[in-house]
Copies of this chain bind each other. A is one copy, B any other.
Amino acid sequence: MSNSRMTVREIARIAGVSVATVSRVSNGTGQVSEEMRRRVLEAIEKHGYRPDHLGRALAAGRHGALGLVFPGLSGPYFTELIQGFESEAGPSRASVHILCTHLRSDSDAQVLEMGRRVDGVAVIGGTVSDDALLRLAARVPVVVIAGPGPGDIASVRAENPGSMAALTRHLLADHGLRDLVFVGNPEGSPDVSERWAGFRQAHRDLGVTPPAEPVAVGLQQADGVLVAQRLLVGGEPLPGGVVCANDETALGVLVGALGRGLRVPQDLVITGFDDVPTSALVTPALTTVRQPVRELAAEAARLLLTAAGRPDDTPHGSLVLPTELVLRGSCGCPAPSPGTAR
Contacts and interface: CB of A to CB of B under 8 A. Distances in A.
Interface of A: 3-4, 50, 52-55, 57-58, 63, 65, 72-76, 78-80, 82-83, 86-87, 90, 93, 95-100, 102, 110, 113-114, 116-117, 138-139, 220-222, 225-226, 229, 251-252, 254-256, 258-260, 277-278, 281-284, 338
Nearest to A110: B90
B86 A79 contact: no
Contacts of A86: 72, 98-100
Nearest to A64: B117
A45 to B, nearest CB: 15
A96 B97 contact: yes
Given A53-B117, A79-B78, A95-B114, A139 B3 contact: yes
21 contacts: A53-B116, A58-B58, A65-B97, A72-B83, A72-B86, A75-B76, A78-B79, A83-B102, A86-B98, A86-B100, A90-B100, A93-B113, A95-B117, A97-B97, A222-B278, A225-B282, A254-B255, A255-B258, A255-B282, A258-B283, A259-B283
B258 A284 contact: no
A305 B80 CA distance: 28
A52 B61 CA distance: 10
Contact of A255 (B63, B65, B226, B283): B283
B50 A116 contact: yes
A116 B110 CA distance: 23
Contacts of A277: 74, 220-222
Nearest to A254: B255
A72 B281 CA distance: 21
Nearest to A257: B283
